[in-house]
Amino acid sequence: MARKHNRKHRQPEAVIIGMMGAGKTRLGKEMAQMRSLPFRDADVEIEHEIGMSIPEYFAEYGEPAFREVESQVVCRTLDSFAGVFSLGGGAPMTKSIRKRLERYVRDGGKVVYLKADPHEAMERASRGGGRPMLDGDAQQRWMSLFKQRDPVYRAVANVTVQTKGMTPRAAAKRMVEMVSEHIVHIDGKGIEPYDVRIGEGTLGHLPEILGSKPVRVALIHTTSVQRHSDRARGILRQSGYQVFDIVIPDAEAGKTIQVANGIWERLGNEGFTRSDAIVGLGGGACTDLAGFVAATWMRGIRYVNCPTSLLAMVDASTGGKTGINTPQGKNLVGSFYTPAGVLADLRTLTTLPNDIFIEGLGEVAKSGFIRDPHILDILEDHASELRSFDGVQFLGSPLEDVVSELIERTVRVKAYHVSADLKEAGLREFLNYGHTFGHAIEQLEHFRWRHGNAVAVGMVYAAELSNLTGHLDRQTVDYMRGLLDELGLPTSWHGADFDAVLELIHRDKKARGNTLRFVGLERVGEPFHLDDPDPQAVEEAFNRVAQ
């Protein structure tokens, strides 16, 4: 499925900015060829416009006149050209161009800051000649311009590609991967803004998000994602960080106070300070734990989530909920602590077993039912392919675009609720649709049931309860059951009696005193708080899912 854009005009797939000698033209052409797109160079377009070379125009009319022409050409091209567009080094310094690029980014465009090694770029720029901005001592002039321009480039761009040590083809391939990423920006009251990046190769953003302050990085991961943790470790070490591997048990067995305490001891022994950082790489349980450790070590250090399962990409890694389980219940100990960034690298799904992929569809469907009905349309249209997911065949297949869009849309649903209500005082509770009953299943099954599967049954329970209390029509309940079944998700459970379930529901985080609270559904896209429902309806809904 092609990604949908609501644009009133054509615009470039990518705009490349950077210093003189960064390779914008060469790599832009290479990228355009890889994508089967046209390429334009702003300097070439300007020379066609003015009928002479840029150095000649500079000499005759001066820089202000040149910048005026440049602004006209660049803005016109941004409004009409659907390819790869490379700008001159000084273009983003012009206010009118900068404002137009900001609008381009808001419309979904990608401004790529091509950040070459300064020595390599200076040498290429000096060797090329014909650059009036480098008149005089070229190297000194280049460095002076770099100091002025680098902060502006970083502010304007939403993609940064560092090319040091890369061949032109490898650098162009990296640009293609990064431009193809889906980016969901998350901010709101009490949230330090961060991005969720979805695409192939997003792990490459780790150094960019961690920044230059951390010296030590704790890479917390499970053994099942060894291949991906090896890649993350290599990226971190190549960027100069000291990396400390911390391996934890898979799934919910890793979310305990004993595991957290072992990590705290390790951080203390290795001398981790407040300026160091944590990277959590794995499924939802791993990212929950890594975030909890980051939130509590020295009252909070920087951390990045790198989810490796569909469930973690759409749920646990985003939103700032961190926590561990106790014998009394799931996630009863935790904190709200937002990551510096989330990197949902689609390459990690290639090693995901079919059943673990499918359980992630439970949380995806939930987001469709509470907020974005188009998610349900996509699930319906592609239920067969999704149910037959094969990681080996995933990358490059039509299903990759489908899954990318599902992840992005689901993350946007979560971002909507989290941005308005970080600490779950009201609106954010709607994200718990299906979770009250689902958490009880997980607890009673001693976490042998995976979270997404438990939530699927929990959604059916909540729908049945909404129907029994007169809020939801029968047709929608049956539609939900049918869709979840088509996706390969469970819709019934009979692993314990009602009294055991009721006891756990009373301990749910949404409960207030002895009052039961559920998230119900009025209709698709309209959840509501269902407080203190009729006890007979609560039990009858259980009977309906236990059949």
In this structure, the answer to whether residues 24 and 115 fall within a common structural domain is yes
Give the pLDDT mean for 211-240: 92
Domain assignment of residue 252, yes or no: yes
Mean pLDDT, residues 315-343: 81
Task: Answer yes or no: is pLDDT of 424 > 70.
Answer: no
Q: Is 131 annotated as a binding residue?
A: yes
pLDDT-based confidence at residue 112 (cuts at 50, 70, 90): very high
Task: Give residue 2's pLDDT.
Answer: 36
Does residue 234 lie in a domain region?
yes
Higher pLDDT, 6 or 262: 262
Q: Of 352, 382, 399, at which residue does a domain stop? A: 352
398 lies in some domain: no
Q: What is the pLDDT of residue 512?
A: 52
| Mean pLDDT (whole number) for 251-260 | 86
Q: Are residues 157 and 187 in the same domain?
A: no
Higher pLDDT, 253 or 89: 89
- Tell me the pLDDT band of 545, cut-offs 50, 70 and 90: very high
Q: How confident is the model at residue 181 (pLDDT cuts 50, 70, 90)?
A: confident
Residue 397 has pLDDT above 60, yes or no: yes
| Of the listed ranges 154-158, 183-187, 204-208, 262-266, the one predicted with least confidence | 183-187
pLDDT of residue 142: 77
Does 250 appear as a known binding residue?
A: yes
- Specify if 43 maps to a domain: yes
Q: Which of 158, 305, 325, 432 is catalytic?
A: 432
| Pair (242, 345) in one structural domain | yes
Please give the average per-residue pLDDT across 221-239, as a whole number.
Answer: 92
Average pLDDT of span 313-317? 83
From the candidates 435, 450, 517, 544, which is the catalytic residue? 435
CA–CA separation, 175 and 171 (whole Å):
6
Q: CA-based diameter of the chain, in Å?
A: 88
Q: DSSP of 86-142, one letter per residue?
A: E--TTGGGSHHHHHHHHHHHHTT--EEEEE--HHHHHHHHHHH---GGG-SSHHHHH
Residues 167, 113 share a domain: yes
For this structure, is 119 an active site residue? Answer: no
Q: Identify whether residues 122 and 197 lie together within a single domain.
A: no
Q: Is 287 annotated as a binding residue?
A: yes
Amino acid at 3: R
pLDDT at 324: 81
Percent of all residues in the chain with a pLDDT value above 90, rounded to a whole number? 66
Reply yes or no on whether 451 is catalytic. Answer: yes
Q: Is the pLDDT of residue 7 over 50?
A: no
Task: Identify whether 321 is a catalytic site residue.
Answer: yes
Is the pLDDT score of 285 beyond 80?
yes
pLDDT at 439 over 70: yes
Range of the domain at 202: 182-352
> What is residue 9's predicted lDDT score, i.e. its pLDDT?
53
Mean pLDDT (whole number) for 76-99: 95
**How much is the pLDDT for 308?**
95
Would 5 be classed as within a structural domain?
no
- pLDDT bin (cut points 50, 70, 90) of residue 124 is low
Please state at what angle helix 257-269 crosses helix 284-296, rounded to 10 degrees: 50
Are 189 and 282 within one domain? yes
Per the annotation, the verdict on 363 as an active-site residue is yes
- Does 482 reside within a domain? yes
- Whether residues 26 and 174 share a domain: the answer is yes
Length of the chain: 547
Q: Is the pLDDT of residue 3 over 50?
A: no
Averaged pLDDT for residues 456-483: 97
If asked whether residues 168 and 288 sit together in one domain, one would say no
pLDDT at 101: 95
pLDDT at position 87: 96
Tell me the two tokens of residue 60: 């005759």
> Are 174 and 187 contained in the same domain?
no
The CATH number that applies at residue 71 is 3.40.50.300
CATH number at residue 443: 1.20.1090.10
Q: Annotation-wise, does 90 bind a ligand?
A: no
What type of residue sits at position 501? V
Helices assigned H by DSSP within 445-534: 451-468, 474-486, 498-506
The pLDDT, as a whole number, for residue 509 is 54
Q: pLDDT-based confidence at 93, cuts 50/70/90?
A: very high
Same-domain pairing of 173 and 234 = no
133, 150, 179 - which closes a domain? 179
- In a shared domain, residues 191 and 257: yes
Lowest mean pLDDT among 233-242, 280-289, 512-521: 512-521
Q: Do 200 and 338 sit in the same domain of this protein?
A: yes
Contact indicator for 358, 386 with CB cutoff of 8 Å? yes
Instruction: Tell me the CA end-to-end span of the chain in Å, nearest whole number.
Output: 37
On the question of pLDDT at 388 being above 80, the answer is: yes
**What letter would DSSP give residue 251?**
G
pLDDT at 1 over 50: no
Q: Which of 110, 382, 428, 450 is catalytic?
A: 428
Token look-up 């029994």 returns 468
- Out of 145, 179, 213, a domain closes at 179
- In total, how many domains does the chain have? 3
424 is catalytic: yes
Domain contains 161: yes
